[in-house]
Amino acid sequence: KTQVEQSPQSLVVRQGENCVLQCNYSVTPDNHLRWFKQDTGKGLVSLTVLVHENDKTSNGRYSATLDKDAKHSTLHITATLLDDTATYICVVGVNRGSALGRLHFGAGTQLIVIP
Amino acid sequence: EAAVTQSPRNKVTVTGGNVTLSCRQTNSHNYMYWYRQDTGHGLRLIHYSYGAGNLQIGDVPDGYKATRTTQEDFFLLLELASPSQTSLYFCASSGGGGYAEQFFGPGTRLTVL
């Protein structure tokens, strides 16, 4: 059963527009949530991490929110650029008390930015 | 800047073939991981390690072995490759558990014919 669901599966926006990506999860206990950007054929690069209930983060044109009660996160990208074309992956971390927390990955949202 | 490298970047083998994927990290991280990424699925954990000589089983270990020879080097072994193992493989390292960031390598695309 998929424990991290992302929507939409894919999205096309025009350069300069804003967009919002969604992540819903059922992972428990949820320790933290991280958003990654994956360029085609490349590895994952962390954009931001959210740890606390109702956390909000900002990293340049990327901002994210986390609602642990609702088990929901959003990633906002403002004033999109062509270089934002990538897959954005939501990852929920579980800390089971051991030193190593297990990660649960969403399948990603493929964002395409067109001129 | 954290650095994780993988080799080869692309590999084609035949069913029943023997394949070794290599990963090296220069971050002095204790934790290393092997994942596979398939279309429509999130990354899935194959094996991971706390340090040299340590090996832990992940969520999809069948058909894979791994070995951590040093703190820097982590290998994934497919001794009898099958077409179902055609995938994009990522190695990652992190300095700890909790919400310590995992740093990913560029990936190895493996095709089993």
Is the confidence at residue B59, as pLDDT, over 70?
yes
In chain B, the residue whose alpha carbon lies closest to the alpha carbon of A3 is: B42
Q: How far apart are CA A21 and CA B7, in angstroms?
A: 33
Instruction: Give mean pLDDT, residues B21-35.
Output: 94
Q: What is the pLDDT of residues A28-53, one digit of tens each?
A: 877 889 999 999 988 999 999 998 88
Task: Give 3-state DSSP helix, strand, coil % of chain B, rounded to 5.
Answer: 5, 50, 50
- DSSP annotation of B59 reads S
Distance from CA of A102 to the nearest CA of B (A): 8
Which of B12, B14, B21 is CA-nearest to residue B105?
A: B21
Interchain CB distance below 8 Å, A44 and B101: no
- In B, what residues contact A, Cβ < 8 A? 4, 31, 40-45, 48, 50, 56, 90, 92, 96-99, 101-102, 104-107, 109
Does residue B60 register a pLDDT over 80? yes
- C-alpha A92/C-alpha B80 separation (Å) is 33
Q: Is residue B2 very low, low, confident or very high in pLDDT (cuts 50, 70, 90)?
A: low
- Residue-averaged pLDDT of chain B: 93
Q: Average model confidence (pLDDT) for chain A?
A: 91
Any idea what the Cα angle at residue B83 is, between residues B78 and B87, rounded to 5°?
75
Q: Which of A42, A102, A105 sits opposite B42 (nearest CB)?
A: A105
Q: Where residue A2 falls among pLDDT bands split at 50, 70, 90?
A: confident
Amino acid at site A106: G
